[in-house]
Amino acid sequence: MNDTPGRLPQNLPFPELPGFLTPQEREKYRQLIQERLTKENAVLIAHYYTDQEVQSLAEETGGFVGDSLEMARFGKEHSADTVVVAGVKFMGETAKILTPDKKVLMPTLEATCSLDISCPEKEFTRFCDSYPDRTVVVYANTSAAVKARSDWVVTSSIAVRVVGHLAEQGEKVIWAPDHHLGRYVQKETGADMISWQGNCVVHDEFKYQELMDMSRDNPDAMVLVHPESPEPVIDLADFVGSTSQIINACKKSDKKRFIVATDKGIFFKMQQAVPDKELIIAPTSSESATCRSCARCPWMQLNDLKRLSQVFDTPGNEVHVSPDIVEKALVPLNRMFQFMKS
Ligand code: 13P
Ligand code: SF4
């Protein structure tokens, strides 16, 4: 795979995290959110990486917790007038593209993703235009405008199957934006791919040497890795998959202990699914360096209870996607949904 644009600046600024809440404040905000969801005929959907209290509130109020794709599908099928998305901006945008008639709100539109940041639409379009013979496959972690420029949108759960299918048809591929996932997909499929050089600041921090040591010290533990992790870390995995696939692999396995290389937020639903199993977070720092994100996405954490309680009253936090972008982005998204059914 060739060298291409998309590298993030060193020390990309992280957002300021929400302040500490007392138990009384938590309870007050929880009640407020419940009341407003009912009053506004709204449903709360949350990603696995959000705080545990946000995930449990989504479930208790008849909403949903899941991976990025499942969230969008749930929002589409639900009868609510308004969908409140606790996640990052591309998730809100995908929900809006799939349900343009519903109001989509987010606690803050500042909740972005380093992959989305790495792939600005104009630069990406220029890049794609210089390879007109290649099929453009983008990861779901991209803006609506980048999706609109693509031929296919995929999530990590289906990327290998889609690119494998394209390779069988003799198609050459542009992949964006995650270069670790791109390399993994290329290795699995043998496809002719050029990859954008974006990365997830959370998964990028999992460390090969420390994971190898941990694995050696815990020989009975199965290693589960998200494919946004660096190649040597993926190579140590017993199982590689998306968030939902990691949970399912853990449920299905006879093993009792698991080392998990993805955002720690997943442990809430994962531990519920396997109460008698032990989950260990994979190492994110080496002896000589400390981690920045420490296996917690800084933008996912912006979805705090206080912001959620104000979601209906905060101007500027409604997700808007222009009708022409919705129309264009729906094509590659629907292609993925059709492919899933095949
Ligand atoms: P999923 O598509 O598995 O939910 O992952 C989204 C994500 O942001 C991973 O870092
Ligand atoms: Fe983006 Fe990584 Fe956060 Fe997922 S964990 S939303 S890929 S920055």
**Which of 69, 70, 156, 181, when mutated, tests ligand 1's pocket best, judged by the most ligand atoms within 8 Å of its CB?**
156
Tell me the CA–centroid distance for residue 179 and ligand 1, in Å: 15
CA 117/CA 107 separation, integer angstroms: 19
Burial class from Cβ neighbours inside 10 Å (0-12, 13-18, 19+) for residue 274 reads middle
Residue nearest atom 7 in ligand 2 by C-alpha distance: 200
CA 180/CA 159 separation, integer angstroms: 12
| 274 torsion bin: left (phi>0), alpha (psi -120 to 50), beta (else) | beta
CA 182/CA 213 separation, integer angstroms: 26
pLDDT for the residue 25: 97
Q: Which of 2-6, 152-156, 215-219, 332-336 has the lowest mean pLDDT?
A: 2-6
Tell me the CA–centroid distance for residue 162 and ligand 1, in Å: 17
Q: Judge whether residue 1 has pLDDT over 80.
A: no
pLDDT for the residue 3: 55
pLDDT for the residue 293: 92
Between these two residues, 148 and 75, which has the higher pLDDT value? Answer: 148
Residue nearest atom 8 in ligand 2 by C-alpha distance: 113
Tell me the CA–centroid distance for residue 206 and ligand 2, in Å: 13
pLDDT for the residue 288: 76
Predicted confidence (pLDDT) per residue in 246-290, tens digit: 999 999 999 999 999 999 999 999 999 999 999 999 999 887 778
pLDDT for the residue 39: 98
Question: Tokens 């999992």 appear where?
Answer: 206
Query: Mind giving me the DSSP string for 43-95?
Result: EEEEETTS-HHHHHHHHHTT-EEE-HHHHHHHHHHS--SEEEEES-HHHHHHH
What mean pLDDT comes out for the span 327-332? 98
Say if ligand 1 is within 6 A of residue 82 CB: no
Say if ligand 1 is within 6 A of residue 166 CB: no
SS3 268: helix
How, if at all, do strands 64-66 and 42-47 pair?
parallel
Say if ligand 1 is within 6 A of residue 243 CB: yes
Q: What is the pTM of this model?
A: 0.96
**Which of 146, 203, 302, when mutated, tests ligand 2's pocket best, judged by the most ligand atoms within 8 Å of its CB?**
203
Give the residues across from 289 on adjacent strands. none
pLDDT band at residue 11 using 50, 70 and 90 as cut-offs:
confident
Between these two residues, 237 and 290, which has the higher pLDDT value? Answer: 237
What mean pLDDT comes out for the span 147-169? 97
What mean pLDDT comes out for the span 87-107? 97
Provide the residue type at 73 as one letter: R
Mean pLDDT (the chain) is 96
Question: Tokens 């800084």 appear where?
Answer: 298
Q: Which domains are delineated in the chain?
A: 2-10+115-201+325-341 (3.40.50.10800), 23-113+300-323 (3.40.50.10800), 203-281 (3.40.50.10800)
